[in-house]
């Protein structure tokens, strides 16, 4: 039996060797690679199909929604006095762009949003790093910040108006405060979750102070911080819009609120669309920033997808 097996094995090996010498590859050696390659090609075709399908769905779905909305408004299925037809909204937006009023309101909101976000992010990340590195500071401020985070940021606005008056300062500070808490919590958690073994290994290589911060702490905590920035950006857009509802004479929030009071629904929809576009632009900008400053994260994900 053993001799038969050895003879068979030698025969197959000899045939394979002969086939390879003559330029022909034996079927038993080609079957597995060919099947594997076929499976890889099939999976790649499937992935391409899914990506194209997702892109088409993301484009066609809002178009279909707008068409249905237009038809419903034109046929009286919905009250066009409340739900203005998309064509009327586009016409209103075009007129507001032409007379410059939309740019005035958009710029006022962008100014408050960007300045408030930068101030809140800088202070929040700095405080989060300190609290993550220094336990007494975390014990002193952690419970208080946790309690204040649960407080709706718009509720702080009356206090800010009382202190600073009806100026730009309370509007910007309301945004900054909302961003601060999100990034302080995310940054503190990011630093605490760094593996103690990694820090010990870095210190054994004399990585201390600024070198430890730039080579270990910042790269390890950066993905979580950037995720927090995306969350904070969405919250900042919400807060600045709400603040402009009640404490501003210009801005997209004021535009929405004022048009509602004057019963100008088409103008109100223009304001809502502008806020949605602003939020999307900010989010995509932060996603781009995340790809630029943490390239290793996306390279690892790409390699993982390639091997899956």
The 10s digit of each residue's pLDDT in 101-157 is: 999 999 999 999 999 999 999 999 999 999 988 889 889 998 888 888 888 877 888
Neighbouring residues of 242: CB distance < 8 A, sequence distance ≥ 6: 154, 253
Cβ atoms within 10 A of the Cβ of 6, count?
10
Burial of 250 (0-12, 13-18, 19+ CB in 10 A): middle
| Range 226-230 average pLDDT | 90
Integer Cα distance of 148 and 152 in angstroms: 9
- Write down the pLDDT at residue 58: 87
- Write down the pLDDT at residue 300: 61
Instruction: Show the DSSP H helices in the chain as ranges.
Output: 2-21, 27-75, 86-99, 101-133, 135-149, 157-164, 168-192, 196-204, 209-212, 218-246, 252-261, 265-293, 295-307
- Contact (Cβ atoms closer than 8 angstroms) between residue 128 and residue 149: no
pLDDT band for position 307 (cuts 50, 70, 90):
low
| Range 178-191 average pLDDT | 92
pLDDT band for position 183 (cuts 50, 70, 90):
very high
| Range 35-54 average pLDDT | 86
- Write down the pLDDT at residue 31: 60
Residue 15 has pLDDT above 50, yes or no: no
pLDDT tens-digit series, residues 246-283: 888 899 999 999 999 898 999 999 999 999 999 999 98
Query: Which of 65-69, 170-174, 199-203, 282-286 comes out lowest in average pLDDT?
Result: 199-203
- Write down the pLDDT at residue 279: 92
Integer Cα distance of 240 and 112 in angstroms: 7
Integer Cα distance of 45 and 40 in angstroms: 9
Rounded (10°) angle between helices 252-261 and 101-133: 130
**Residue 113: closest CA among 257, 229, 239, 211:** 239
The token duo for 118 is: 């930068």
Integer Cα distance of 127 and 108 in angstroms: 28
Integer Cα distance of 150 and 304 in angstroms: 38
- Write down the pLDDT at residue 23: 44
- Contact (Cβ atoms closer than 8 angstroms) between residue 93 and residue 270: yes
- Write down the pLDDT at residue 26: 47
Residue 13 has pLDDT above 50, yes or no: no
Integer Cα distance of 153 and 234 in angstroms: 13
- Write down the pLDDT at residue 257: 93
pLDDT band for position 194 (cuts 50, 70, 90):
confident
Integer Cα distance of 122 and 184 in angstroms: 10
Integer Cα distance of 278 and 109 in angstroms: 9
pLDDT band for position 308 (cuts 50, 70, 90):
low
Residue 92 has pLDDT above 50, yes or no: yes
Integer Cα distance of 210 and 38 in angstroms: 51
- Write down the pLDDT at residue 1: 41
- Contact (Cβ atoms closer than 8 angstroms) between residue 187 and residue 228: yes
**pTM metric for this prediction:** 0.76
- Write down the pLDDT at residue 291: 86
**Mean pLDDT over the full length of the chain:** 83
| Range 180-207 average pLDDT | 85
- Write down the pLDDT at residue 18: 45
**DSSP 8-class letter at 164:** H
- Write down the pLDDT at residue 6: 44
| Range 40-48 average pLDDT | 86
Integer Cα distance of 204 and 226 in angstroms: 29
Integer Cα distance of 285 and 105 in angstroms: 21
Share of the chain above pLDDT 70, in %: 86
């Amino acid at each position: 039996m053993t001799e038969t097996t050895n003879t068979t094995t030698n025969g197959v090996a000899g045939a394979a060797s002969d086939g390879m010498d003559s330029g022909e590859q034996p079927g038993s050696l080609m079957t597995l690679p060919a099947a594997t390659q076929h499976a890889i090609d099939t999976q790649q075709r499937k992935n391409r199909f899914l990506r194209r399908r997702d892109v088409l769905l993301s484009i066609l779905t809002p178009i279909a929604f707008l068409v249905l909305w237009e038809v419903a408004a034109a046929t009286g299925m919905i009250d066009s006095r409340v739900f203005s037809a998309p064509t009327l909204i586009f016409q209103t937006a075009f007129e507001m762009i032409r007379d410059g009023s939309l740019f005035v309101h958009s710029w006022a909101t962008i100014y408050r949003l960007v300045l408030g976000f930068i101030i809140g992010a800088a202070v929040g990340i700095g405080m989060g790093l300190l609290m993550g590195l220094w336990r007494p500071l975390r014990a002193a401020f952690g419970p208080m910040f946790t309690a204040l985070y649960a407080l709706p940021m718009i509720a702080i606005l009356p206090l800010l108006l009382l202190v600073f008056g009806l100026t730009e300062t309370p509007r910007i500070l309301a945004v900054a405060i909302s961003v601060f808490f999100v990034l302080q919590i995310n940054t503190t958690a990011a630093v605490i979750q760094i593996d103690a073994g990694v820090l010990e290994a870095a210190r054994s290589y004399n990585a201390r102070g600024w070198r430890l911060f730039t080579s270990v702490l910042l790269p390890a905590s950066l993905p979580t911080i950037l995720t927090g920035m995306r969350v904070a950006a969405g919250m900042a857009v919400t807060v600045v819009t709400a603040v402009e509802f009640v404490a501003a004479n210009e801005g997209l929030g004021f535009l929405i609120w004022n048009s509602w009071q004057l019963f100008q629904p088409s103008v109100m929809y223009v304001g809502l669309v502008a806020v949605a576009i602003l939020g999307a632009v900010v989010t995509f900008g932060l996603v781009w920033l995340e790809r630029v400053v943490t390239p290793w994260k996306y390279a690892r994900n790409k390699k993982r997808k390639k091997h899956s």
